[in-house]
Amino acid sequence: MKSSLVSMTGYGQGSISNEKYTITVEMRSVNSRYLEIKFKLPSMWGELEERMRELISSKISRGRVDVSVFVSYAQTDAKLNIDWQLLESVKEAHEKLSNTVGLAEPLSFTDLLAVEGVLTLEKPQEDLEEIWKDLSVALTEALDQLYNMRRAEGERLAEDITQRIEYIKKKTLELESLAPLIVKELYDRIKERVAEMDVALQEERLLQEVALIAEKMNVTEELVRLKSHCDGFLQIMQENNSVGRKLDFLLQEMNREINTTGSKSSNLTVSRNVVEIKSELEKIREQIQNIE
């Protein structure tokens, strides 16, 4: 039975090159309650962010996704502009400071670069529609790699979770088989207590008292629901959509049933089985935190 679980952890990379530039897209994703997409791309390409978001959300529904876009130009028509008027003002300010406070250091080229606006890089206007044609190719490649990695990780998680659910079902059956033993222990304990108190109690009355207490300690309904939740858990794992929240809710119900079972019985074997089941449920809870 193949699961459809998808992890929220993954990485993907895509690139495209032509005579003008090389565009590289890197995507990383981790778990998050909702879909959260963060972009890092050239400032002049900001208008393309919404298109990128739509493409990503068409394939991913949950997780924090960090998208980095890098561009390397084969050649550039960019021009370096110098604001001569601002440069002259900087020089004059330096001379005044030198004369006033006795600055001995000359004005260097590095000093000029530190002044915003003295040197500016003028880039030619880019056609964003042409850019998008290439960027979307690189983005799709990165997105496919990311999704495939998330899918592979989801299959690994599903295999581990399935084994744990089957183990819980096995332990639940063991708990059901212990029910007659628990009643027998209860009968012996009450009979022993009556004998210690030196009180005459008819066998019929003793059985009535045991039956009343046993009814209060009955965990049949809890165990039936727990088994049903286990089957439901495995069925949800086959659904072809985002199931992380569903599984998390069902896991809470399973914890509630096993906690009630543990609180109703003081039998050592029952307590051990309850502890083992709770341990498996906690491990499953950690796993599904990373499921989409």
Report pLDDT digits (tens) over 218-262: 778 889 999 999 999 999 998 887 899 999 999 999 999 999 888
Task: Return the SS3 of 70.
Answer: strand
For the chain, 292 residues long, the average pLDDT of each consecutive 10-residue run is 82 94 96 94 91 96 96 73 80 78 72 74 76 96 96 94 96 85 66 60 60 64 92 91 90 94 81 94 94 91
Amino acid at 121: L
C-alpha–C-alpha distance, residues 155 and 221, integer Å: 33
Q: Is the dihedral of CA 46, 50, 53, 58 positive or negative?
A: negative
Residue pair 8/61 in contact (Cβ under 8 Å)? The answer is no
For the chain, list the domains and their CATH numbers: 10-76+129-149 (3.30.230), 79-122 (no CATH), 154-288 (1.20.140)
β-bridge mates for residue 80, sequence order: 121
C-alpha–C-alpha distance, residues 50 and 55, integer Å: 9
Residue pair 31/63 in contact (Cβ under 8 Å)? The answer is yes
Run of H or E including 229:
helix 220-236
Nearby residues of 256 by Cβ (< 8 Å), 6 or more positions away = none
Q: Is the dihedral of CA 199, 204, 206, 208 positive or negative?
A: negative
- Confidence at residue 2, expressed as pLDDT on a 0 to 100 scale: 60
Nearby residues of 45 by Cβ (< 8 Å), 6 or more positions away = 69, 128, 131, 135
Nearby residues of 277 by Cβ (< 8 Å), 6 or more positions away = 168, 171, 172, 258
CA angle 185/186/187 to nearest 5° reads 90
C-alpha–C-alpha distance, residues 259 and 14, integer Å: 49
- Confidence at residue 100, expressed as pLDDT on a 0 to 100 scale: 77
- Confidence at residue 178, expressed as pLDDT on a 0 to 100 scale: 81
- Confidence at residue 207, expressed as pLDDT on a 0 to 100 scale: 59
- Confidence at residue 192, expressed as pLDDT on a 0 to 100 scale: 64
Nearest residue to 72 via CA among 42, 108, 50: 42
- Confidence at residue 161, expressed as pLDDT on a 0 to 100 scale: 95
